[in-house]
Chains A and B, each alone.
Chain A
Amino acid sequence: MTILVWIDHHRGTVQPASWEAVGKARALAGDDKVVAVVMGQGVDDVAQQAIHYGADATYLYDDAVYAEFRYEPYTAAMKDAVSENDPALVLFPATTRGRDFSAFFACSADLGLAPDAQDVRFEDGKVVAKRPVYSGNMIATVEVKTTPAVVSLRPRTQPMPEADASRAGEVVRKGALMSEDEIPTKVEKFEEKEQGEVSLTDARIIVSGGRGVKGPEGFEPIRELAKVLGAAVGASRAAVDAGWISYDHQVGQTGKTVRPDVYIACGISGAIQHQAGMRESKIIVAINKDPEAPIFQIANYGIVDDLFKIVPALTEEAKKRLGK
């Protein structure tokens, strides 16, 4: 029972959830084969890393047509990898690109899809996945009736495997299956996000600000604390809608779903739509002036006080304790 795992990277920088998916595949496959699938240009390094993280082999589709993610060439390559390996399961990390690609690929190959699963297993030869639905208010167990099954795995739901540089495996090199002329979609430009920001979905620690931070400058103390902790910066919709911080920081129902080890909510009341995006955090800390704020009902630790006093104090104390 071979398992294929698609590795999500952008210009060679791999989204860590890809390795979590390789780890999961390794655990499920036992003595059977785990084959990583990498598409890109000049990404031999990614192909090798996949083996270090647990794949037995990597199918590497390396060509200029794969330099940027596009549905047409990527789908053609994935179909090729599937037809050569005859897998029982095709796993994707449920990153933004992973979710998009798995859906388009699954539909074009007419395969059953379980998106954004928090777990997957084989049961009597069938692929069964557990996935949150109703915005995290229910957990569905779904059985995929096609072979292969397509499943995307939510980031940070699986343990991160250790890379072992001594692991060896075959890299099967493949080139372009379509010429550039046959690909109607053209990427014109790419503007990178501000450097040095930790991505919300992979973050182990998140410091978030809400309406309580009162303005764009109110995010400064939040950012300083995040920097000292090596954390990502999150926000409530109220703060995003007010224009204090950009939408890609929004956590919740209509923002990102995160599950860090620690989520520090500063000046966030904890509306149900905010909770939908962060309830699964391991430890929740609430800093809020209002002891009645609903956030305290889901928090592990709470400080009832002014965030403008507490957050800078935390930054200073953290510098001392963490030796920074």
Chain B
Amino acid sequence: MKYIVCLKQTPDTAELPKITPEQALKGNEGVTKVMNPWDEYAVEEGIRLKERFGGETVAMSVGPDEVDEALKSAIAMGCDRAVRLWDEAFADSDYWSMALILAKGIEKDGGADIVLTGKMSVDGNAGAVAHGIACKLGVSLLTQVAKIVEVGDGKITVERLLDEGRETVTAPLPAVISVVKEINEPRYPTFIRIRKASRAQIPVFSAADLGIDPAQVGAAAARVTWTNLVKPEPKKREVVIIEGDTPEEKARKLLEYLIDVEKVL
């Protein structure tokens, strides 16, 4: 069995509020970057699949040199190796071009039985690239996956988290699986693995290596363009601290505000 985990490097969530629109548009946010938090669950699940069913787990990411750091943290967690896909032509690709690049990268690496992704990136917030990869590869897509029940016989059975409950679904392999946080608890890297990761050689594949025509990707091919980016209007909230001698008095006053002034209850 072979598992490929697609992961993105994103700004540390605590730093997101500091990023300016100018920095974001330049694609150089000037803040600490880490593995997209949602993708830690995908990496962990990729490692667990290897532990359960045997095989190899590979981390893959589209991005410039700095992204090696995120790929190394995936190796430090337990991935066997990593592959990076990058070319100047890839910059500003939309979701479907990004999915095409990843699909070509997966094929270049010899394919995978299971491709794992996070639920969404904390910067782009699209939650769409996994769907695109499945579409481009023409394989099964299972999203909102909270548990991998069984893999075997060329099939995979998972539990999906719906708004209304939990669904058990079976689909043929290969499959793209996008996981939710509930699926596992990501492990911390051990010292030995961090050492191994620091020495890892990460091959990089360009558009030419992947057989991608540069006109298919990047800003010019994008089906959607960002025409403006702003900070949200700061909500002017002046907190009213409710005083009172007893909890009952405070409760009563709060309800008066909510019912009579704000009319929201």
Residues of A bordering B, CB below 8 Å: 10, 13, 15, 68, 71, 95-97, 99-100, 103-104, 106-108, 110-116, 128, 131-146, 184-193, 199, 201, 204-205, 229, 246-248, 250, 253-255, 261-262, 272-273, 276, 279, 282-286, 291, 296-305, 309-310, 312-314, 316-318, 321-322
A283 touches B224 (CB 8 A): no
Given contacts A138-B229, A186-B170, contact A103 B127 (CB under 8 A): yes
B251 touches A310 (CB 8 A): yes
User: In chain A, what residue has the closest Cβ to B38?
Assistant: A254
Docked pose: A313 CA to B245 CA in angstroms: 13
B21 touches A100 (CB 8 A): no
15 contacts between A and B (CB under 8 A): A68-B167, A103-B131, A115-B126, A134-B122, A137-B19, A143-B224, A190-B162, A190-B167, A250-B181, A285-B258, A300-B238, A301-B257, A304-B241, A313-B248, A314-B255
Docked pose: A116 CA to B163 CA in angstroms: 16
Docked pose: A279 CA to B233 CA in angstroms: 12
Q: Among the listed stretches B52-60, B66-74, B75-83, B135-143, which one makes contact with chain A, having 4 or more residues with CB under 8 Å of it? A: B135-143
A132 touches B165 (CB 8 A): no
B247 touches A313 (CB 8 A): yes
A113 touches B161 (CB 8 A): no
Residue from the list A110, A137, A279, A322 in contact with B223, Cβ < 8 A:
A110
B13 touches A300 (CB 8 A): no
Q: State whether the Cβ of B95 lies closer than 8 Å to any Cβ in chain A.
A: yes
Chain B residues positioned under 8 Å from A144 (CB to CB): 223-224
Chain A residues positioned under 8 Å from B259 (CB to CB): 321-322
B125 touches A100 (CB 8 A): no
Q: State whether the Cβ of B227 lies closer than 8 Å to any Cβ in chain A.
A: yes
Chain A residues positioned under 8 Å from B136 (CB to CB): 107
Docked pose: A302 CA to B248 CA in angstroms: 15
B95 touches A301 (CB 8 A): no
B235 touches A111 (CB 8 A): no
B264 touches A262 (CB 8 A): yes
- Interfacial residues of chain B within 27-51, with CB under 8 A of chain A in the complex: 37-38
Question: Smallest distance from the beta carbon of A179 to chain B beta carbons, Å?
Answer: 17
Question: Smallest distance from the beta carbon of B125 to chain A beta carbons, Å?
Answer: 5
User: In chain B, what residue has the closest Cβ to A322?
Assistant: B265
Given contacts A108-B135, A186-B171, A253-B13, contact A140 B228 (CB under 8 A): yes
Given contacts A135-B13, A137-B16, contact A100 B225 (CB under 8 A): no
Chain A residues positioned under 8 Å from B241 (CB to CB): 291, 296, 301-304
Given contacts A139-B229, A262-B264, A272-B13, contact A113 B252 (CB under 8 A): no
B13 touches A273 (CB 8 A): yes
Give the total number of A-B pairs whose CB atoms are below 8 A apart: 252
Interface residues on B, range: 35 or more
Given contacts A107-B128, A145-B224, A304-B241, contact A313 B170 (CB under 8 A): no
Q: State whether the Cβ of B115 lies closer than 8 Å to any Cβ in chain A.
A: no
B229 touches A262 (CB 8 A): no
Of listed A95, A128, A188, residue having the most chain B CB within 10 A: A188
B125 touches A313 (CB 8 A): no
B237 touches A284 (CB 8 A): yes
Question: Smallest distance from the beta carbon of B5 to chain A beta carbons, Å?
Answer: 17
Which 4 residue pairs across A and B have the least CB separation, nearest first? Answer: A112-B223, A313-B251, A103-B131, A141-B228
A13 touches B171 (CB 8 A): no
Docked pose: A230 CA to B223 CA in angstroms: 42
B248 touches A317 (CB 8 A): yes
Docked pose: A250 CA to B259 CA in angstroms: 27
Q: State whether the Cβ of B206 lies closer than 8 Å to any Cβ in chain A.
A: no
Chain A residues positioned under 8 Å from B257 (CB to CB): 301
Docked pose: A97 CA to B165 CA in angstroms: 12
A314 touches B254 (CB 8 A): yes
Docked pose: A116 CA to B14 CA in angstroms: 22
Question: Smallest distance from the beta carbon of B232 to chain A beta carbons, Å?
Answer: 5
Q: State whether the Cβ of B222 lies closer than 8 Å to any Cβ in chain A.
A: yes
- Interfacial residues of chain B within 171-216, with CB under 8 A of chain A in the complex: 171-172, 180-182
